[in-house]
Amino acid sequence: MGDDWREEYPREFIAMHEAAHAVVGLVLGCEVEQVEIQDRACFDYPDSVGSARIDLTGHNSVFAMAVCLAGTIAEATVNSDVYDQAVWRVDLEYVVRHSINAQRRGLGTPEVAIPAAMILCRGLVAHHLAAIRRVAVSLLEKGELTGDEVRVIVRGEDEGREELPFQ
């Protein structure tokens, strides 16, 4: 990808990435506040064109890391050819922070916690891929979803959601 990858990166994959954070967070019992995709980068994170606001307070570190890894793992699950490190750099920074904090609290080393989070996340993404796709389609349509809207979509109460234009 070129220097401004945001212009080359398909919006479908950005939507899938953010939807995965939201769905995995919801499934793990976290409070999903909002998920959105933008046409341009956020001021706080210039490499970002989407965000999922999820309250990870009080959740175990492996769960928090799984939520952070969900976007990257969902993208790799759908199409590893589009997978690009510029997209997942911020998420991995959060994973490292959570693993270091866990180690400081005596809850295990990063060498154990990060692989555990990856195994958990891969299973959750695979199991909930249809819900992730439905949330992604809604994100493409609306650009932003509340936590309540995500919950309705994940429960399957939304009608007429189509699949994303990729498999």
The residue that leads in pLDDT, 77 or 25, is 25
Q: What is the pLDDT of residue 43?
A: 41
In a domain, 163, yes or no: no
The tokens describing 48, both together, are 């970002």
Judge contact between 135 and 128, C-beta under 8 A: no
The answer to whether the beta carbons of residues 69 and 118 sit under 8 Å apart is yes
Q: Does residue 165 belong to any structural domain of this protein?
A: no
Residue 128 domain flag: yes
Least confident of 25-29, 45-49, 160-164: 160-164
Whether the predicted model's global pTM rises above the 0.85 cut: no
- The reply to whether 27 falls in a domain is yes
Contacts of 152 by beta carbon, 8 Å cutoff, 6+ apart:
158
Q: Where are the beta strands (DSSP E) in the chain?
A: 31-37, 50-55, 144-146
Whose CA is closest to 45, among 89, 97, 95, 105? 89
Q: Which secondary structure element, helix H or strand E, spans residue 14, and what is its range?
A: helix 11-27
Nearest-Å Rg of the Cα atoms of the chain is 15
Structurally, how many domains does the chain consist of?
1
Does residue 159 form part of some domain?
no
Q: Is the per-residue pLDDT at 111 higher than 90?
A: no
Which pLDDT tens digit goes with each residue over 40-55? 544 444 455 688 889 9
Residue 94: which domain range?
Answer: 5-154
131 vs 92: which has the higher pLDDT: 131
Residues 6+ apart with CB under 8 A from 124: 23, 24, 27, 28, 66, 70
Residue 117 lies in a domain: yes
In the chain, the amino acid numbered 84 is D
d(CA 19, CA 25): 10
Check residue 156 and give left, alpha or beta (phi > 0: left; psi -120 to 50: alpha). left
CATH number of the domain encompassing residue 32: 1.20.58.760
Establish if 53 belongs to a structural domain: yes
The predicted-structure confidence for 60-108, as pLDDT tens digits, reads as follows: 888 999 999 999 899 888 876 655 555 577 788 888 888 888 888 887 8
